[in-house]
Amino acid sequence: MAYELNQEECLALQAKLDEFVRLSDSSSTLLCDKGGAVLVDSGSDAENDLMAALTAGSFAATRELARTVGEEDFEAVYHQGENRNLYIAGMCEEVILLAVFEKENSQVGLVRMMARKLRREVNHVLDQMANKQEVVAEDPTVSFVLKK
């Protein structure tokens, strides 16, 4: 089962994500569901579908690692590269953030702080969804169905 997102809700999430990119100095970012489907993106990389699928898999593996060491969950995962960094964080039970940022343009502390703000905003948008009714999705791994 999945929840339906209408155009207004997608636009609200898009505006929040665009603001996150601007405030965090990220180069690209996306929100995906736990099945790896892209909900919205900003400043996109060319391979968003692949990035979303890998993000969902990484986040699921990290969640299991947390449980293995006695934690309910880890808030976020940070991958540091030579030039680019990744920050992956759960926004709610169903939504995951992937932020890509360049070392010379931003710092993980700023991205983390803005991700916490974004989490509150995403949850507010999802809490305000008028169509909380579950729908059957063609793909059983998706959490949201985008209504056209």
CA distance 38 to 20: 17
Predicted TM-score (pTM) above 0.85: yes
**Which stretches of the chain are assigned E, i.e. beta strand?**
2-5, 28-33, 38-42, 76-80, 84-90, 95-102, 134-135, 144-146
8 A C-beta contact, residue 48 and residue 30: yes
Residue 22 in tokens: 């601007």
Residue 119 in tokens: 């989490």
| Mutual angle of helices 7-24 and 108-127, in 10-degree steps | 160
Q: What is the pLDDT of residues 86-144, one digit of tens each?
A: 999 999 888 999 999 998 888 999 999 999 999 999 999 888 875 566 777 777 777 77
Q: What is the pLDDT of residues 35-87, one digit of tens each?
A: 999 999 998 667 888 999 999 999 999 999 999 999 988 889 999 999 999 99
Q: What is the pLDDT of residue 146?
A: 67
Q: What is the pLDDT of residue 66?
A: 93
Domains and CATH numbers, the chain: 7-131 (3.30.450.30)
CA–CA distance from 89 to each of 1, 125, 141 (Å)? 23, 17, 19
Strand order in the sheet with 134-135: 134-135, 2-5, 144-146
CA distance 112 to 72: 20
CA–CA distance from 20 to each of 7, 24, 100 (Å)? 20, 6, 12
